[in-house]
Structure 1
Amino acid sequence: MKKRVYSAMRPTGELHIGHYFGAVKNWIKMQEEYDCFFAVADWHALTTNYDNPENIKEIRRQMVLSWLAAGLDVEKAPIFIQSHNLYTAELYLLLGMFTPVSWLERCPSYKDMINTLSHKDLSNYGFLGYPVLMTADIIMYLANLVPVGVDQVPHVELAREIVRRFNNFYGEIFVEPESMLTNVPKLPGLDGRKMSKSLNNTILLTEDADIIEKKIKTMITDTKRQRKTDAGDPNVCPVFDYHKVFSTDEERAKIIEGCTKAEIGCIECKKILINNVENFICPIREKKKVLDKEIQNIDEFLAPSQKKANDFAAILMEKVRKAIKI
């Protein structure tokens, strides 16, 4: 039997190329190799965006359309909406009954997010309990593997601890999930900082060609290279990080030689990148335009997938209630 994978993404805005190379690209491959469940984690979006939920419905629709345009297929792996499976909320509540608060407070991302989003009041229970909800998401589908970046590994380790505690109290019901570290290329934001919508330094997965050109032309390069006649260092240039993802081996070799020997300038280097990024984004952008017209009601489109997820959860929760004797 194939191992089961669970992964999800919060609907907090339009998808950018960082989302694609950080998660979606790997999901597309996984749907061929594993038994996958992919979720729209809209409850998770409320942990930090509780004061502005108005756009979540449309954002989640746009996010699913982008997934489909990029290559995810509901016939190969169910895509469903977290909040449309109320069994997850029930399991989240039950797990919270025995999860020590100290386990949640020691989570590295808890303090990191508070510092990062210092302008927001994150003293809410939902934010503190985020890892418990994440655990409920994962173990509800008896997932063996959870694809995550290094920064998310502590969350999966906490899920394993919660599973062990549950199984010790009530019997062997849940599977201990394992982190599945995926290959994620280094892709900084346009300004060299971490790619983030809040920093306005992203290229959207469905960006128009003229915007792609404008954004890449304004990207920072090797700051020590002031003129074309100055030799550059591709290893410290954010533009070259993009070439590693979007350009061919031959193109990269040409750029390395031309840059280090001051034979090509940054404008020429960026022109190659602009062309390659547009060639990558164009088919996704055009496919999404078609899907946007064809799929008006995303809940209706996802109904068969949602039923698969909910039916699986219903059977499991019967076992959980019996184990807890309620």
Structure 2
Amino acid sequence: MRRVLTGIRPTGHLHVGHYFGMLRQTAELQDHFETFVMIADVQALTDNFHQPQKVRAMVLEVAYDVIASGLDPRRSTLFIQSLIPEIAELTVFYGNLVTVARLQQNPTVKTEIAQKRALFGDSVTYGFLGYPVSQAADITAFDADLVPVGDDQLPQLEQTREIVRRFNRIYGPTLKEPQARVLDTARVRGLDGDAKMGKSLGNALFLCDPPEQTARKVAGALTDPQKQRLGDPGRPEVCTVFEYHGLFSREKLASIATECRSGARGCVACKRELAGGANAFLGPLRARRAELEARPGEVLEILMEGTRKARAVARGVLARVKERMHLDYLGGAA
């Protein structure tokens, strides 16, 4: 059976952008692929190295969000990255196959370095610059055929593919070259109209937000700046609230657009309707999450069992890599 790998950084609670992007679509893939979901705590440390307790605390929180969103531990393997030492070993090997200049040219890395200037100043860390190499190890350690990504992450996956091709060219056919599954909803705009919803940008609806907090956040969402009052014709195509209606109430979208353009729909009422639709949609997910929060020991055991299964796969891949690299000094034992 073909395999899919999804990685999630535990740097904060997951938001609706994550849900409509990777979580929902990974849940759909678990019926057709052997699905691995990695809680990437090592990668989270590349820009949270100064607050490891935050990353540690968020591992379980992210697991609650993931399972509540539809990832079934009976059909998917959920595991913790740092508990798979084979990934770290592969990262070291792959570091010899990519130049510093190539990493610096990676568009995603360049963008993220610019965003992290307050943290790094003018000198980025080795770990942050090299995290595409770690991602290549994540993906190849499980012989992943498919990796769900947003279009902004395609340069990262291409870096993995380059490393795979170079390894196979030097050492012989060993590693599987993964393909991208570009997410149908790759990006959800932030409530403030920013191009992307983000954990640290203050513009996100989190899956764990209580209903009243969701309503407050929606009330402050950006609408068409040219529509000042009821009766003014609106432009739904530039309105963030309208975009969110497309997530939670798609069946009403045509009538909402018509009412907006005619001026018959006011922004306050439109936001109130959106808050109701969002809370109705997220209600069952929140209920499942609350049940999981009440049983943290069971969720931790799910992660431990998934990690045991994932490590068995990674151990086999590493043994194959070491054999090709003539590093199997113990007769093939990893």
The alignment's TM-score, normalised by the length of structure 1, stands at 0.96
Check conservation: 1:207, 1:281, Cα contact below 8 A. no
Q: Which secondary structure does the structure 1 equivalent of 2:119 belong to?
A: coil
Identity rate, percent: 36
CA distance in 2, matches of 1:279, 1:258: 22
Would you say the 8 A contact 1:185–1:245 is kept in 2? no
> In the alignment, what sits opposite 1:232?
234
- Provide the residue aligned with 1:215 in structure 2: 217
| Contact 2:190/2:198 (<8 A) preserved | yes
SS of equivalent to 1:187 = coil
Displaced runs of 4 or more, over 4 A:
none
- Secondary structure, counterpart of 1:73 in structure 2: coil
3-state SS of 1:48 partner: coil
Distance 1:298 1:233 in 2: 45
C-alpha distance in 1 between matches for 2:266 and 2:153? 39
The one-letter code matched in structure 2 to 1:210 is E
1:205 partner letter: L
Q: What pairs with 1:57-206 in structure 2 (closer than 5 Å)?
A: 57-121=56-120, 123-184=124-185, 187-193=188-194, 194-206=196-208
Distance (whole Å) between structure 2 residues aligned to residue 145 and residue 70 of structure 1:
20
Q: Which residue number in structure 1 is paired with residue 23 of structure 2?
A: 24
- Aligned residues of 2:191 and 2:203 also touching (Cα < 8 A): yes
Deviations 1:135-184 (A, max 9, x none): 00001111111111111111111111111111111111101111111201
Q: Deviations over 1:197-240 (max 9, x none)?
A: 22211111121111111111121211001111211111111100
Q: Which runs of 5+ in 1 are unaligned?
A: none
Letter in 2 for 1:293: A
> In the alignment, which residue of structure 1 is the partner of 2:265?
264
1:187 maps to a residue whose letter is V
Q: In 2 relative to 1, CA 319–31 (structure 1 residues): closer, same or farther, beyond 3 Å?
A: same
Gaps (5+ residues) in structure 2?
328-334
Give the TM-score taking structure 2 as reference length: 0.94
The total of aligned residue pairs comes to 324
Distance 1:97 1:299 in 2: 35
- For residue 108 of structure 2, what is the amino acid of its counterpart? S
Distance 2:308 2:241 in 1: 44
Q: Secondary structure at the match of 1:14?
A: coil
Partner Cα distance (2:317, 2:218) in 1: 49
Distance of 1:163 and 1:264 partners within structure 2 = 54
Alignment-derived partner of residue 241 in structure 1: 243
Question: Alpha carbon RMSD of aligned pairs, Å?
Answer: 1.4
Alignment partners' CA distance in 1, 2:146 and 2:62: 23
How far, CA to CA, are the matches of 1:307 and 1:30 in structure 2? 22
Per-residue deviation, 1:313: 1.1
Deviates more, 1:268-277 or 1:294-303: 294-303
Cα separation, 2, equivalents of 1:190 and 1:36: 31
SS across alignment from 1:79 = strand
Residue 305 (structure 1) aligned with residue 306 (structure 2): yes
